[in-house]
Chain A
Amino acid sequence: MNQLAKSSIMLSPYKSSARWLWIAPTVFLILILAIPTTAIILRGATFEGFRDVLNNSTIKQALWFTAWQALASTALTLIVALPATFVLSRFAFTGNRALQALITVPFLLPTVVVGAAFLAVFPSQLHYTATALIIAHAYFNLTVVVRIVGARWEQLHPGIEQAARTLGASPLTVFRTVTLPLLHSALATASGVIALFAFTSYGIVRTLGGPARATIETEIYTRSVLIGDMPGALALSIVQMIVLTALLWWWAKRHRGESVSPQISVAQRAPSTRGQVALVYGIALATAAVVIAPLSALLWRSLTRTTPGATRFTLSGWRAVTSSTTLGAISTSTLFALCAMVIATVLGLMVALGVAYGSPRFVWLERISVLPLTVSAVTIGLGILITYDTAPYDFRSTWIITPLAHSLIALPLVVRIVLPVVRQIPRGLQSVASTLGATPLQTWLTVDRPLMSRAVGASAAIAFAISIGEFGATSFLTRRSSETLPVTISRLLSRPGDALRTQAYALCVIIVVISMIAIFLIDMLRPSRKAK
């Protein structure tokens, strides 16, 4: 951490209160992550399992495939998402907020469903190929780039770029030499998150990659659940944790020392020249089309039944949605998502504030908050199952366990999004406020909160999205009376009959609509940035 940051922390009025913020997140991580993971490993891992796994050539192939498809997915996501991010963060135009909400939608669809939608949209040569996988990963993760990089891009003062233009640089040069370096840390964060997601992705790999394409995560599931080889599965899980933690460590070291520059919320302007209008609306519409295509396949399939020679429209799938079980699933999913959103955002904020304002030795808190992303969902689910199983802590059948598991998975993202923004709040403002007599709480409410609210809103929306679509850990923890939508959908799709299929797709459309509304609302809590 550089000298400027260090001295800023010394002057911070929050230092004494921030000292206690580490407690709740750490307890949470110990209870929901560390103990279950250790428990399942102690229960099932063996040295033979380790040895067999490391010698297995299939595993080595799987590791190689996992790694390169993760990198390819990250690259493709950046390429597709950056134009949209540019347009959304810089310009005020009709539909800006709607487009942001729309782009978040793929992220929260259950992977089983997206797989089916893409199979419908892709021609059959693309079925079960690595290409299909990579495209689907990019589709999923667009919102990660838009929100993380966008939050940062919004804060860049156009004055710097305008100065460069005045000196004669072309727009592309400006982008390359001025904008990109300033965005560097946000890009690194977003890429890291996407690579992690693609690395540990399960549902998409299974449905679109087909059985011949194994990643470490699918191998863990295959071995533990399908073959019943728990030692092998756990050995793989440990290997995955070690590999990912090492990569994260290296990544964090490379990107240490974030640029601390003065930050203000920059006003957005409507596109002024004809060229700008064409650019903005062109990119916006193209991105919207890309996102909508698979979604409309879902809608189509919820409304049609195929019979020999004809396609008939039917509303029976939609009518079945009003049954009490599906309404129950809808309310359960929404409730769980709201709970997970609150828990993840609060804990994530504690981590971010604790790390940024507490003493410099709290950097370990930031490191451990990423750990949930390195542990496979199967391991977490099964670990919770065997840990909290005896009175007085028999929690495995309580409903709160599922939102807690969702919060665990969402926590790293919240921290990743909020922490850089908190670090860049000008310390001078806080010192001034406290010199004028404000208490730490007042200072925080009047200085920090407005500057952080975009990032907090963005991370809350992502936490909500993760919870709505989560399937991996949930499928091990679910109970009939509190079934979530993804579980219901998967159940409906796994049995024969057109009637159930249309119902399943209708539920998918409902997930899409609920989430768009929720995300739209969360986004609206941020102050408008239109230029007056």
Chain B
Amino acid sequence: MLSILAAGCSSSPTNDSTGSTDSTDSTDSTDGPVTLTLLAHESFTPTPGIFDAFTAATGITVEIVLSGDTGQLITKAVLTSGNPEGDVLWGVDNTLLSRALEADVFSAYETPNTTFMDASLLLDIPGHEVTPVDSGDVCINYDIAWFKSRNIAPPLTLDALTNKQYANLLVVPSALSSSPGLAFLMATIAEFGTDGWQPYWKSLRDNGVMVVDGWTQAYNTEFSGASGKGDRPIVVSYSSSPPAEVIFADPPVDAAPTAVASLTCFEQIEYAGILRGTKHEAEAKLLIDYLTDLTFQNDLPLTQFVFPVHSGAVLPEAFTKYALRPENPLRLEANVIATNRTAWLDEWSAIVLK
């Protein structure tokens, strides 16, 4: 039995990291075929084989390494700054960007594809340390059927959530432990100002808001409009959640069962960047170009439920039909978030979690 175990233990189930063992022939790079390691959070789920075109064109193989959720990804990147675990990082968003920039995690690069991006996406990164790759909105989602059956108008603004008629109907993920939860807190700060958000949250608390640990619990367990069939018809989620409900519906449905209150949305921008200290900087630049090119960008909506940044990208029908992209989502500048985030989180948890 021991020899079987030894054999099993020695034939590892993985590819080891650096140093390519792949057979792709390269005519491109100077010292043999190169494998780039792309670090991402666990929601990074492009179509398998999406990088084949890239490998065919450049001879570079891409190995995807998933690293837990965004918070873990950033924490590890900060700790290994200058001696990174990979070459390119995907998945730092505008609420966490400051942590990465302070720790000098990235190597600046401006891809030519920025000409295809909306100027508002580039506001927070004048130094081009990172490149925008997708965007989304964190918004209040509500269960259409629930409100219809009781003949109540659904809440359309942040202010409305404090009305008595919506008492005990809202579930939100904690701003401490959840990225959409944090984005929702940011939305309220953007809406009510740095002095007005505390009274707002006090009223939310008095109106019976349920705070749970993560988005999964809020959406998949407590929300009435999704698979968990919970008790609460109002939840914090994404502007791409209604199309997701249609796409994954079984049996198929004609109309989205949930809708978004577009006046409550906070814009989330996701970035990718070259990790400082990588040994393959030239190849990493090529990968950043590819990630912002049409092939990859068109894959984004149906695999990761986010919106592409390339203005020429095509949205699938389910998205154009059922997704509502707000014209003017709420925004906060990244350096404002950077200075105040810890203090805001401490204050928020004192108000809401006690």
In the complex, which residues of chain B have a beta carbon less than 8 angstroms from the beta carbon of A495?
43, 45
Question: Cα distance A385–B353 when bound, in Å?
Answer: 32
Q: Which residue of A lies closest to B74 (CB)?
A: A228
A396 touches B85 (CB 8 A): yes
Report if A494-B13 is in contact (Cβ < 8 Å); known contacts: A308-B145, A386-B80.
Answer: no
In the complex, which residues of chain B have a beta carbon less than 8 angstroms from the beta carbon of A487?
42, 66, 68
Question: In A197-231, which residues have CB < 8 Å from any B CB?
Answer: 206-207, 210-212, 222, 224-230
Q: Which of B157-165, B193-201, B210-218 forms part of the interface with chain A?
A: B210-218
B227 touches A305 (CB 8 A): yes
Question: Cα distance A226–B85 when bound, in Å?
Answer: 20
* B310 CB to nearest chain A CB (Å): 23
Q: Mark A473-492, 1 if CB is under 8 A from B, else 0.
A: 00110111111000100110
> CB of B9 within 8 A of chain A?
yes
* A453 CB to nearest chain B CB (Å): 14
Report if A399-B212 is in contact (Cβ < 8 Å); known contacts: A228-B99, A382-B75, A386-B79.
Answer: no
A212 touches B353 (CB 8 A): yes
Report if A494-B215 is in contact (Cβ < 8 Å); known contacts: A212-B353, A475-B68.
Answer: yes
> CB of B335 within 8 A of chain A?
no
In the complex, which residues of chain B have a beta carbon less than 8 angstroms from the beta carbon of A314?
250
In the complex, which residues of chain A have a beta carbon less than 8 angstroms from the beta carbon of B94?
none
In the complex, which residues of chain A have a beta carbon less than 8 angstroms from the beta carbon of B227?
305-306, 497-498, 501
In the complex, which residues of chain A have a beta carbon less than 8 angstroms from the beta carbon of B254?
none
Q: Which residue of B lies closest to A391 (CB)?
A: B18
> CB of B244 within 8 A of chain A?
yes
> CB of B27 within 8 A of chain A?
no
Question: Cα distance A306–B245 when bound, in Å?
Answer: 12
* B276 CB to nearest chain A CB (Å): 14
Tally inter-chain residue pairs, CB-CB below 8 A.
165
Contact of A493 among B5, B72, B216, B250 (CB under 8 A): B216
Q: Which residue of A lies closest to B145 (CB)?
A: A308
Residue among A306, A476, A497, A501 having the largest count of chain B Cβ atoms under 10 Å: A497
B79 touches A227 (CB 8 A): no
Report if A496-B79 is in contact (Cβ < 8 Å); known contacts: A211-B176, A481-B13.
Answer: no
Q: Mark B236-251, 1 if CB is under 8 A from A, else 0.
A: 0100010011011111
Q: Which residue of A lies closest to B237 (CB)?
A: A496
A124 touches B231 (CB 8 A): yes
Report if A478-B67 is in contact (Cβ < 8 Å); known contacts: A211-B176, A228-B74.
Answer: yes
Q: Mark A331-355, 1 if CB is under 8 A from B, else 0.
A: 1100100110010000000000000
* B289 CB to nearest chain A CB (Å): 23
Question: Cα distance A362–B244 when bound, in Å?
Answer: 61
In the complex, which residues of chain B have a beta carbon less than 8 angstroms from the beta carbon of A286?
none
Question: Cα distance A58–B354 when bound, in Å?
Answer: 9
* A113 CB to nearest chain B CB (Å): 12
Question: Cα distance A116–B248 when bound, in Å?
Answer: 21
Contact of A43 among B43, B79, B250 (CB under 8 A): B79
In the complex, which residues of chain B have a beta carbon less than 8 angstroms from the beta carbon of A342?
2, 5, 9
A interface residues with partner B (beta carbon < 8 Å): 43, 58, 116, 119, 124, 128, 206-207, 210-212, 222, 224-230, 305-308, 312, 314, 316, 328, 331-332, 335, 338-339, 342, 382, 385-386, 389-390, 396-400, 403, 475-476, 478-483, 487, 490-491, 493-499, 501
- 26 intermolecular pairs with C-beta atoms under 8 Å apart: A58-B350, A124-B231, A211-B174, A212-B211, A228-B78, A307-B251, A312-B250, A331-B13, A338-B5, A342-B2, A342-B5, A342-B9, A386-B80, A389-B85, A399-B14, A400-B9, A475-B68, A481-B15, A481-B63, A482-B13, A487-B68, A493-B220, A494-B215, A496-B220, A496-B241, A499-B250
B interface residues with partner A (beta carbon < 8 Å): 2, 5, 8-9, 12-18, 42-43, 45, 63-69, 71-72, 74-76, 78-80, 83, 85, 96, 99, 145, 174, 176-177, 211-217, 219-221, 226-229, 231, 237, 241, 244-245, 247-251, 257, 305, 341-342, 345, 349-350, 353-354
The list of the 8 closest CB pairs from A to B, nearest first, reads A397-B17, A482-B14, A211-B174, A497-B248, A491-B42, A481-B14, A225-B71, A399-B12
